Amino acid sequence: GRKTGYGRVQVFNHRENFTDLDEIDLTRELGEALEHDQLELYYQPKCQLDNGKLAGVEALIRWNHPQRGLLTPNLFIPLAERFGLINRLGYWVIEQACHQLQQWRNTAFSDISIAINMSVQQLMDPHVIHFLKSCLERYRINRGLEIELTESVILSQERSGLNLLEQISAMGILLNIDDFGTGYSNFSYLRKMPVRFLKIDRSFVTDIEHNKDDQMIVRSILAIGHGLGMQVIAEGVENTGQRDWLRHQQCDLYQGYLLSRPQPLGELESWLSKQF
Ligand code: C2E
Ligand code: CA
Ligand code: CA
Ligand code: CA
């Protein structure tokens, strides 16, 4: 079925696969992971559909667990959210991304932007704006950082009347709406929000060549996004048929295994050097 988002369902699905996983253990270990440098950002590039140019990378967190091996975020982000570690984890991601942007300055990679993912809890943290600001200052960054938020995050902002998104945008951080189309059918918020990119959820891309309903949905997303002056990104593009269909419909950017899997920094840099 369609994505379920974060929550108990996914956690339990994972537990079925890793029967020895104990949530309490894992949560304690995650606290240690933050202190002992076991977290790592992998980077997945996104490119323009019309000319193949690099448009930036998305940072996706991984946990190099000393016993359990490489863990993907669906396993531990929900735990971090339930047990109060998500803000520390999120600060680590922000800091790491800013550090990387600084490292790339004055190199061949100086134009690359980094998009980080943030959940609703992270945005609700009263210190997050201050932390973002201080990171940008410490690393002297005035462009190149992007934040990916889901529709539910954005709607929660609208409902609470907060203007955090305006504040973030005023710092020069570009906002992406992630998993677009899976959340809410209320589009009125889009007009008011300082959003630069819409990301079409992978669930609409998978069968795009053959499924007429998905084609209709994706065309509508493109019309809404472009009509409101945004760029549209397709995620989860795995084959050339999907890419060509999207290109033909004037989708702006794509991301997915066809182009590259998420890679550790070193591999990303050698991949970039070969491609561009
Ligand atoms: P997302 O933001 O929707 O990220 C896309 C997910 O799809 C990633 O899974 C990526 O590895 C995977 N993917 C990319 N291209 C393809 C493809 O062509 N085919 C398929 N089948 N999958 C593809 P990943 O890395 O396991 O991340 C899962 C989710 O965890 C992300 O979904 C994001 O919501 C969350 N996440 C990742 N890093 C962070 C983080 O630093 N902070 C927070 N709060 N959430 C994060
Ligand atoms: Ca994302
Ligand atoms: Ca997605
Ligand atoms: Ca997501």
What is the rounded CA–CA span in Å between residue 179 and residue 254?
Answer: 13
**Where do we find the tokens 């980094």?**
114
Give the pLDDT confidence score for residue 24 in this predicted structure: 82
Please state the ipTM of this predicted complex: 0.98
Residue 164's closest CA among 202, 205, 193, 204? 193
Q: What are phi and psi of 251, to 5 degrees?
A: -65, 145
Give per-residue pLDDT as tens, 115-141. 999 998 898 888 999 999 999 999 999
Please give the helix or strand (H or E) that residue 132 lies within, else none. helix 128-138
Give the pLDDT confidence score for residue 222 in this predicted structure: 97
Show the low-confidence residues of the chain (pLDDT under 70).
1-21, 161-162, 184-186
**Where do we find the tokens 């992978």?**
202
C-beta of 256 in contact with ligand 1 (< 6 A): yes
Taking the centre of ligand 3 as the mean of its atom positions, its distance from the CA of residue 234, in whole angstroms, is 9
Q: What is the CA radius of gyration of the chain?
A: 18
Q: What are phi and psi of 145, to 5 degrees?
A: -100, 135
Ion ligand 4: protein residues whose beta carbon lies under 5 Å: 179
C-beta of 45 in contact with ligand 1 (< 6 A): no
Give the pLDDT confidence score for residue 20 in this predicted structure: 52
pTM over the 0.90 mark:
yes
C-beta of 146 in contact with ligand 1 (< 6 A): no
Question: What residues are paired with 253 via a beta bridge?
Answer: 48, 233
Residue 146's closest CA among 44, 2, 265? 44
Among all bound ligands, the one having the nearest atom to the CA of 181 is 3
Give the pLDDT confidence score for residue 124 in this predicted structure: 86
C-beta of 262 in contact with ligand 1 (< 6 A): yes
Give the pLDDT confidence score for residue 153 in this predicted structure: 80
Please give the helix or strand (H or E) that residue 195 lies within, else none. strand 195-200
**Where do we find the tokens 């300055």?**
105
C-beta of 61 in contact with ligand 1 (< 6 A): yes
Give the pLDDT confidence score for residue 11 in this predicted structure: 45
Give the pLDDT confidence score for residue 162 in this predicted structure: 66
Give the pLDDT confidence score for residue 3 in this predicted structure: 43
